[in-house]
A = this chain, B = another copy of it.
Amino acid sequence: MSREFTAAMVVIGNEILSGRTQDKNINYVACKLVEIGVRLREVRIVPDVESEIISTVRELKSKHDYVFTSGGIGPTHDDITAQCVAKACNTVLEQNKDAYDILLDYYGIEELTDARLRMAQIPVGGALILNPVSAAPGFQIDNVYVMAGVPKIMQAMMDHVAMHLDGGTVIQSRTVETRLRESVIARDLGDIQEKYQSVDVGSYPYFKDGQLGVNIVLRSDDGNLLSRAEQDVIEMVDRLSE
């Protein structure tokens, strides 16, 4: 059995914490990682404060195979992610030649202002993550992947990054939906979890059209086991619905 690969995500964003913006990047990263067999184990949303970004990245990069960040890599004064990640990785920023060439090509020499040149400041040893939308690249240093906050750009960067990551066995999932109440299925579902200990049995209630319902979600890297557990859940739902 291949080893488990884990990841964490750091969303750098006062605009998320202030409620101004609804984050859309976490779900995209989560889905992408599932596809390639990497487990997203935690997410932190932190303010644009240097000390907090540094300590968070430092802690998570030592705990997980991969850390993904979104936000704070533009040209304005509040874009401090690159310098924070450099410090968390015990290195410094330098003008990256490839990043410079990308920006030169995109803006032309006349328009390559100091503000724009700031986006060519990449940690020493960093590898660029290309930005097909607006040129300014993200970067990878150590096991940290630094991406834009604008969803369209972040998604393009993540697609590119995901192609080159090592992952383990892909977790498969099966969902059984029912309008039975959670409290009706709780005991029998607990028994099924007991029976299939290596299957993660989750129960996620929802509220739709004025009624509660439950999505019962089974997850495992063993497709055969999953099918048997799913069959048990379906039989349970049928039995309790009578």
Contact = CB atoms under 8 A, between A and B. Distances in A.
Contacts of A14: 200, 202
A186 B77 contact: yes
A187 B204 CA distance: 48
A152 interface: yes
Copy total for this chain: 2
Contact of A42 (B20, B46, B48, B153): B46
Contacts of A45: 26, 42-44
Nearest to A17: B40
Given A27-B22, A217-B20, A15 B186 contact: no
Contact of A40 (B18, B31, B44, B182): B18
A185 interface: yes
A219 B114 CA distance: 26
Contacts of A153: 207
Contacts of A48: 202
Contacts of A182: 74-76
A41 interface: yes
Interface residues of A, number: 73
Given A40-B17, A74-B182, A187 B34 contact: no
A212 interface: yes
A197 to B, nearest CB: 12
Interface string A16-51: 111111111011001111100001111111111000
What 6 pairs across the A-B complex have the smallest Cβ distances? A19-B30, A115-B186, A19-B31, A43-B45, A77-B190, A76-B203
Given A18-B40, A44-B44, A74-B203, 5 more contacts: A18-B173, A23-B26, A77-B189, A78-B193, A151-B207
